[in-house]
Amino acid sequence: MSRLRLFVWLLLLAHLGVLLWVAAHLPIGPHEAKLFFTGDTLVARLMHWGVTCFPDAEFLSIRIPFLVLHLINLYLFYRLCQALLNDETEVLTAFVTFLLLPGIVSSAVLATSTGLILALYQAFLLLYIKKREWLAYLVLPLMLYVDKSSVVFFFAMLTFALWRRNIPLLAASVTLFAAAVAMYGIEVHGKPKNYFVDTVALYAAIFSPLLFLYFFYAMYRILLKGQRTILWHIAFTILLLSLLLSMRQKIPIQDFAPYVVVAIPLMVHLFFRSYRVRLPEYRKPYRLAAVAVYAVLVLNTAILVFHRPLFLVLDNPQKHFAAPFYLPYWCAQALKERGIAAVTTRDGKLAYQLRFYGIEPNGGYSLSKKPAPGARSVTIRYKGRSIATCYVSKINN
């Protein structure tokens, strides 16, 4: 076993261990809680399956199905890299890059449809690239039932089939695109407003800033001079579509990003090709650039994973990106310490989170974030530091 392969195996084991730890300690989020109590989607069913099978695993129970999906996606991505790249160094580099992406790490521990999208999309790509097209066509209808992200995917597939003049694929894409639009519609709403910078910032958070900069360059370079494969076409089309739409309205980035990140092998191949055509004395800038990109990537992912200490150093802990996960949990703990088992709140998502922790809705107490006459303050603390304050008042019946 080569040293690089051994390093990747050790990194993979560390990655899985850290993800298990994060999944076991991360409280349920507002979207997850609402989905758990009101949703009838595949994601909601997977959450309930996890709780049924692992009732004593607390937070881990709702996340186990998505960790399993993550393992499947890592395997599929590795196989995809092997199908696309001939060099082992390129395969392992692409795999490690995918492994460390903040967007992939977060999708592994959160109850979202991203894992399902990635699994079906990568299965389709593998079958299509290996010339098992009719099996690939059987995967396509499954993607229709995951969520509304299938609209943009089938649109990209339609444009690819038109470009390649692939009649069977075109017929399947048109049919499924029409079905997706009929099921989910096309979201064009609100007063036109430019969210382009916000969307770029979200992609930078999913990839890490420097990596996304090079990824965008790689996609553009392939457009000009490279081989425009189905993987490149779908990734570039959806990336471009998301940026164009963001000039008018805020887009749900989770509907676009899964189809974009899978193109990581193309970026890695372009880098190594550019690196190897140069004489050794001219390769140093490439090595330095790679070190900078991966240093920022590792730092971003480390902050994402080991985020709790930030509650102790931020001037305003309530602006912590994980505050919507932790504050309701700590609030529930504080309420239980005061013997309060049921509260009424106007915040619907908060009510679902509190319900998950055993604080029932429509109780004899009112919970709010603002003080009211006669209300008792409940201080939410983490390691002795005051993080936030909520107010509880008795409801007079």
When the pLDDT of each residue in the chain is averaged and rounded to a whole number, the result is 92
**304: three-class secondary structure by DSSP:** helix
Whether 246 has a pLDDT exceeding 70, the answer reads yes
Each residue of 99-108: pLDDT tens digit?
A: 999 999 999 9
DSSP per position, 323-383? HHHHHHHHHHHHHHHTT--EEE-S-HHHHHHHHHTT-EES-SEEEESS--TTPEEEEEEET
**Phi, psi for 366 (deg, rounded to 5):** -105, 130
Residue type, 384: G
- Per-residue pLDDT band for 397 (boundaries 50, 70, 90) equals low
Whether 301 has a pLDDT exceeding 90, the answer reads yes
Strand partners, 386: 381
Whether 190 has a pLDDT exceeding 80, the answer reads no
The pTM for the full model equals: 0.94
Residues 6+ apart with CB under 8 A from 37: 352, 355, 356
Q: What is the mean pLDDT of residues 214-238?
A: 95
- Per-residue pLDDT band for 223 (boundaries 50, 70, 90) equals very high
- Per-residue pLDDT band for 369 (boundaries 50, 70, 90) equals confident
Whether 1 has a pLDDT exceeding 60, the answer reads no
Q: What is the mean pLDDT of residues 190-199?
A: 84
Q: Distance between CA 85 and CA 161 in Å, rounded?
A: 24
The domains of the chain are located at: 1-112, 187-306, 317-394
Q: What is the mean pLDDT of residues 329-349?
A: 90
Whether 326 has a pLDDT exceeding 60, the answer reads yes
> How many C-beta atoms surround the C-beta of residue 132 within 10 A?
12
Whether 192 has a pLDDT exceeding 90, the answer reads no
